[in-house]
Amino acid sequence: MPDTELLSLQTDHLRILQQRYQQALEAEGYDALLISSGAAPLRYGDDQAWHFQGYGPFLHWTGLTGQEHSWLLIRPGERPVLWLYQPVDFWHATPELPGEPWQESMEIQASERTEAPALGDIGKKEGVGKLAVIGDPACLSGVGGDHNPPALLAALDETRVHKTRYEVACLARANSIALDGHRAAREAFLAGGSEFEVNLAYQRATGQREADAPYHSIIGINEHAGTLHYQYYGSDAPKPPRSLLIDAGVRFRGYCSDITRTTAGPSDPRFAALIHGLDQIQQRLCSMVAPGVEYIDIHRKAHQGIAALLSASDLVTGLDDEAMITEGVTRAFFPHGVGHLLGVQVHDVAGKPTPPPADAPFLRLTRTLEPGMVVTIEPGLYFIPSLLEPLLAGPVAKHLNQPLITELQGCGGIRIEDNVVVTDTGFRNLTRPDGA
């Protein structure tokens, strides 16, 4: 999509946000809302700060991930006012805004203060009326108004559930950039690279340093692929390289991609076959995405698919698919939820208006799908010793192919994750735009 089209969609996006926020504020009895962008806290006992990425509602309006100590005022029927923190500072660069059309939808002021703006002289003489202020409480002390009122926060979270066309376009771009990274990562692995080198290849191809990415990339070679959120980068390439699991995304104008791919090494055809089997299941799950579908049903369908795959691959024998699910066998191989909402946060808000059911305690999305939602579909199949050992010591042990499990434990596990939009009639897979 040419940038002019994207930029014009952004203007529409802001118009839609103005309406959604107006409704939420009126429903909760507020005349104005002040949003803090936040600020990176210092590490305890240190003068170094954690990486900063910005508060969700501020990103929803501005997409500006690097703007600390900035403030945005929203009022029904009025142009938003954005105070951008722009100190005179010879230690740090001051973020500069490239001129773009969205800035005409707001009044933008530079500020050298980290504190909230004085609102007394804004709008009517008597000030802005009943004010809510939202953001990291560490940034709000001394600011007037109601801080983070829960009902309003819940209503504002709801404004992020149905993505505008602008947001879907940004998520699509975040996918296409990350896919370049995934291709480079796979090549680096197949060329014998270590986790560290795979990470370098990913960052080089995406042009985004990890501090700006939506989450720390998960890059596991061999048994490390079996740790769901493996957080280190080994600098030695294990020999032989049997598997790579990489779960990595990028941000584009604040919007996140969240993609996982698993690759088998050249000497592991059985593992490669398992990856192929899980990929087919994953594609079927993606094609279930449609308005009116219960997301929990996609999660449960994943368990059915994994049960069938465990049978077909001889990992489990003599136990029917339903029994594998009720006996907790599939849960031991696939312990997490099938996915979540995606947006300006990788695990986007408002996914659980109702808590997850007992058979899916880690599921982050319990809603009925509706057009405009963007979800991940990410089934997995892992060989995690701490989850498999109780099964191997229990009554279902006789159904488990222990030698094969032991052999494949060295490959860690598989996850395949795509980002999927619920359309008016079905789905659009942003991660496989050509159906590949």
Q: Where are the beta strands (DSSP E) in 61-116?
A: 71-74, 81-85, 107-111
Give me 381's structure tokens: 């199949």
State which residue, 130 or 229, has the beta carbon closest to Mn ion.
229
| Contacting residue, 247, 268, 321, 348, with ligand GLY by CB under 6 A | 247
Instruction: Indicate whether 223 belongs to the interface with ligand GLY (CB under 6 A).
Output: no
| Contacting residue, 247, 268, 321, 348, with Mn ion by CB under 5 A | 247
Q: Which amino acid is at 282?
A: Q
Which residues have a Cβ under 8 Å from the Cβ of 120 and sit 6 or more positions away?
Answer: 127
**Contact string (CB under 6 A) for ligand GLY, positions 27-66, x = contact:** ----------------------------------------
Minimum distance of Mn ion from residue 248's CB (angstroms)? 8
State which residue, 186 or 399, has the beta carbon closest to ligand GLY.
186
**What are the Cα distances from residue 385, in Å, to 312, 335, 390?**
22, 12, 9
Q: Which does 215 bind (CB under 5 to 8 A by kind): Mn ion, ligand GLY, none?
A: ligand GLY
Instruction: Indicate whether 268 belongs to the interface with ligand GLY (CB under 6 A).
Output: no
| Cis peptide bond upstream of 240, omega within 30 | yes
- In sign, the C-alpha dihedral spanning 160, 164, 166, 170 is positive
Residues in a beta bridge with 418: 377
Instruction: Indicate whether 258 belongs to the interface with ligand GLY (CB under 6 A).
Output: yes
State which residue, 116 or 218, has the beta carbon closest to ligand GLY.
218
| Contacting residue, 28, 167, 223, 258, with Mn ion by CB under 5 A | 258
**Contact string (CB under 5 A) for Mn ion, positions 376-415, x = contact:** x---------------------------------------
HSE-CB for 254 with a 13 A CA cutoff: 22
Minimum distance of ligand GLY from residue 378's CB (angstroms)? 6
Residue list 355-384, contact with ligand GLY (CB under 6 A): 378
**What are the Cα distances from residue 121, in Å, to 117, 125, 141, 203?**
10, 7, 21, 46
Which residues have a Cβ under 8 Å from the Cβ of 325 and sit 6 or more positions away?
Answer: 303, 304, 307, 331
Quick one: DSSP state of residue 99? P
* Helix, strand, coil shares, percent, the chain, to 5: 40, 15, 45
Q: Which does 321 bind (CB under 5 to 8 A by kind): Mn ion, ligand GLY, none?
A: none
Instruction: Indicate whether 417 belongs to the interface with ligand GLY (CB under 6 A).
Output: yes
State which residue, 155 or 363, has the beta carbon closest to Mn ion.
363
Task: Name the residue whose CB lies closest to ligand GLY.
Answer: 247
Going by DSSP bridges, is the β-strand pair 243-248/259-264 parallel, antiparallel, or unpaired?
antiparallel
Q: Which amino acid is at 226?
A: G
CA distance 203 to 185: 9
State which residue, 39 or 245, has the beta carbon closest to Mn ion.
245
| Contacting residue, 215, 370, 392, 405, with ligand GLY by CB under 6 A | 215
State which residue, 321 or 417, has the beta carbon closest to Mn ion.
417
Instruction: Indicate whether 431 belongs to the interface with Mn ion (CB under 5 A).
Output: no
Q: Are 54 and 42 in contact (CB under 8 A)?
A: no
The site for Mn ion (CB under 5 A) is made up of 247, 258, 260, 376, 417
The site for ligand GLY (CB under 6 A) is made up of 215, 247, 258, 346, 378, 417
